[in-house]
Amino acid sequence: MSEDASASQPLWQQGWYRYAHRCPSPNFGPRPSGTPIDLVVVHAISLPPGEYGSSDVLDLFTNQLTINAHPYFETIRDLKVSAHFFVRRQGQLWQLVSCDDRAWHAGASQFNGKDNCNDFSIGIELEGLDGHTFEASQYETLSSLCAALADAYPIVHIAGHEHIAAGRKKDPGPGFDWRRLKQSLTWPDTHFPAA
């Protein structure tokens, strides 16, 4: 496809983002009818924990993880999970589930008095480890993606997994710079977690 033809393509097609590499996951389902998609949830993941650059995260989300490749993988053998997006350390963006569908990223969760955040949220996984810092390229990709999401969906909140599953999850953790993301997006303070 020529550059001119690519530029004429819509930014979103049936919930798929033009600027993301596609790696479709089988782990998704329909959203409840009439549910507005108004929350972005930021996560951190690396497999094995603290190791970066392999295909293991994408393999997990597509049920192709080689369990005997690392002892840790035995502990997640039966997981069937996904996210809408995965942002690598260098900022490369992958999409696994259409944003129109319900990815399986939040688990038992609650936000603003509503349970089951998967129903009304978009999950973005950053390659990283909760408590550790993230790369400038990841913030750039995350910021541009969030802006594009807000143009296509009625996004009014962004939170970490730790905010919607308090006590159960700790990601993205204290190493994630919410102020940096806030300055980049210039969304109202009410869109972000309380400091």
- CA atoms within a 13 Å half-sphere pointing along the CA-CB vector of 7: 3
Pair of tokens at residue 123: 């999950």
pLDDT digits (tens, 9 = 90+) for 61-111: 999 999 999 999 999 999 999 999 999 999 999 999 999 999 999 999 999
pLDDT at res. 171: 97
pLDDT at res. 7: 63
Residues labelled as active-site residues: 125
All structural domains of the chain with their residue ranges: 20-191
pTM beyond 0.75: yes
* C-alpha to C-alpha distance for 113 and 193, rounded to whole angstroms: 15
pLDDT at res. 4: 52
What pairing do the DSSP bridges indicate for beta strands 114-115 and 102-103? unpaired
Residue 48: band (very low, low, confident or very high) from pLDDT cuts 50, 70, 90: very high
Residue 9: band (very low, low, confident or very high) from pLDDT cuts 50, 70, 90: confident
Superfamily of domain 20-191: Peptidoglycan recognition protein-like (3.40.80.10)
Q: How far is CA 105 from CA 1, 31, 144, 173, in A?
A: 33, 13, 21, 16
* C-alpha to C-alpha distance for 83 and 78, rounded to whole angstroms: 16
Output 44 or 1, whichever has higher pLDDT: 44
pLDDT at res. 6: 56
pLDDT digits (tens, 9 = 90+) for 125-175: 999 999 899 999 999 999 999 999 999 999 999 999 999 999 999 999 999
- The answer to whether residues 172 and 160 touch, using CB atoms and an 8 Å cutoff, is yes
* C-alpha to C-alpha distance for 121 and 170, rounded to whole angstroms: 18
